[in-house]
Amino acid sequence: MADPLARILTVFMLALLITPAFVLADEENEEGAELGSLAVLGITLIFAGTAYYALTKRRLFIEHRKGEPGIVVRPERPYVTVFGPVYPMTIHHLSTVVGTLLALAHFATCGDYSTLAGGAGLGMAITLVLLNISGFYGRYIHIRIERTARKSERRALKRLVVLLRRWKVFHVALVVVFLILLGVHLATVGD
């Protein structure tokens, strides 16, 4: 993915991370608010885990290193170093799977797909499942690349790198579809 596009996506996701908190506050007295809160928590987890991965991968202002948990702040780039027992990809993986399950719990209790909000909800449920399947496939490609690189099979490695690039365009395109549907859902729910 082109770097400027990735940056725009990251900023967009961070903005969306804040949005559900306002929706949640607005929603407090409505029926079904408890499960609506599950959706907010789920979406927040998905965006937080994805944003953390995207930011640490580029080391723009935060980097992640494996080690005893801790945070070091210093005046020069990347400013913040977070130490943790797992890799950012594992955080991305876990947060998106758990977040999806929470969002699907909300989806399962809202049965009306005839409205615009409901249709967008159904679309989001499908997109989330596709994103997770796609994510597992992406991890599989990553593992194959590592194995092939160790064996120094240059031709196979080249093919896999092209496959990873294409897969990533697909994975991120699904994210864009999801964000559009989420926007429609939040704008029309309760109409």
Asked if 35 is part of the footprint of ligand HEM (rule: CB under 6 A), the reply reads yes
Which of these ranges, 38-46, 59-67, 76-84, 148-156, lies near ligand HEM under the rule CB under 6 A? 38-46
Asked if 46 is part of the footprint of ligand HEM (rule: CB under 6 A), the reply reads yes
- For ligand HEM (CB under 6 A), the number of binding residues is 51
C-beta of 28 vs 76, nearer to ligand HEM = 28
Most distant CA atoms of the chain, gap in Å: 61
Q: Tell me the closest approach of the beta carbon of residue 75 to ligand HEM, in angstroms.
A: 26
Site string for ligand HEM, 116-155 (x = CB under 6 A): -xx--xx-xx--x--xx--xx-xx--x-------------
Token couple for 107: 């989806």
Phi, psi of 84 (to 5 degrees): -155, 160
Q: Tell me the closest approach of the beta carbon of residue 67 to ligand HEM, in angstroms.
A: 21
Asked if 64 is part of the footprint of ligand HEM (rule: CB under 6 A), the reply reads no
Asked if 101 is part of the footprint of ligand HEM (rule: CB under 6 A), the reply reads no
Sign of CA dihedral 81, 83, 87, 92: negative
Which of these ranges, 43-51, 60-68, 79-87, 153-161, lies near ligand HEM under the rule CB under 6 A? 43-51
Asked if 81 is part of the footprint of ligand HEM (rule: CB under 6 A), the reply reads no
d(CA 72, CA 146): 30
Pick from 179, 172, 5: which is nearest to 92 by CA?
172
Amino acid at 28: E
Please report, as ranges, the residues that interact with ligand HEM according to CB under 6 A. Answer: 1, 6, 9, 20, 23, 27, 30, 32, 35-36, 39-40, 43, 46, 50, 53-54, 57, 92-93, 96-97, 100, 103-104, 106-107, 110, 112-113, 115, 117-118, 121-122, 124-125, 128, 131-132, 135-136, 138-139, 142, 168, 171-172, 175, 185, 189
